């Protein structure tokens, strides 16, 4: 009897280890061309972005144009508010085709980003990006110039 229990425990342990090894990250660009009204897609995108562990919730503004998203975060963001706003709005504008406005609420401290302003700042149409690597390169290149980042937020 003890032998059977040991065998079952060993089997369950191996099964547990294998299931843990099978977790793969979802390609965020599978949500390319989503719409602001697709709550599921917006939720998956937000939960795949940095600072997702500080996400409190979000609201979709879909009744009238400009369509937008309001994202609520806990106040403590390690990499800084500006970096979070820049990074997350770049991804959201690239992936969601009809979003024009994103409001970030860090427990009362608010930032607002429009697609037009961000595309003008980058000098690029954000809809043209088709993979994470290209978009990451764009973001990282622009984050290097802190004066330019400050200009975007003033």
Q: Is residue 21 part of a domain?
A: no
Residue 63 predicted with pLDDT over 60: yes
**Which one is predicted more confidently, 91 or 74?**
91
Beta-bridge partners for 71: 58, 104
- Structural domain of residue 103, as residue ranges? 27-152
Q: Does residue 75 lie in a domain region?
A: yes
- The total number of structural domains in the chain stands at 1
The confidence band for 149, taking pLDDT boundaries of 50, 70 and 90, is very high
Determine, yes or no, domain membership for 49. yes
User: Confidence band (pLDDT; 50, 70, 90) for 78?
Assistant: low
C-alpha distances in angstroms, 141 versus 28, 137, 144? 20, 6, 6
pTM for this predicted structure: 0.81
Mean pLDDT estimate for the chain = 85
- Domain assignment of residue 22, yes or no: no
Residue 97 maps to a domain: yes
Q: Is residue 89 part of a domain?
A: yes
Per-residue pLDDT, 75 = 76
Position 9 in a domain: no
**Exposure letters 46-56 (e unless 16+ CB within 10 A, then b):** bebbebeeebe
As a whole number of Å, the end-to-end CA separation of the chain is 72
* 1 part of a folded domain: no
Q: Determine how β-strand 68-73 pairs with β-strand 101-106.
A: parallel
């Amino acid at each position: 009897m003890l032998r059977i229990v040991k065998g079952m425990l060993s089997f369950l342990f191996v099964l547990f280890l294998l299931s843990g090894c099978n977790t793969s990250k979802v390609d965020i660009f599978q949500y390319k061309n989503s719409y602001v009204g697709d709550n599921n897609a917006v939720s998956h995108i937000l939960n795949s972005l940095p600072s997702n562990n500080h996400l409190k919730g979000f609201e979709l503004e879909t009744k009238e144009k400009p369509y937008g998203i309001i994202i609520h975060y806990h106040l403590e963001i390690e990499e800084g508010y500006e970096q979070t706003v820049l990074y997350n709005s770049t991804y959201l504008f690239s992936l969601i085709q009809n979003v024009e406005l994103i409001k970030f609420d860090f427990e009362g401290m608010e930032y607002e980003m429009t697609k037009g302003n961000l595309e003008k700042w980058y000098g690029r149409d954000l809809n043209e990006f088709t993979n994470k690597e290209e978009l990451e390169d764009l973001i990282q290149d622009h984050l290097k110039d802190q004066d330019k980042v400050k200009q975007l937020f003033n």
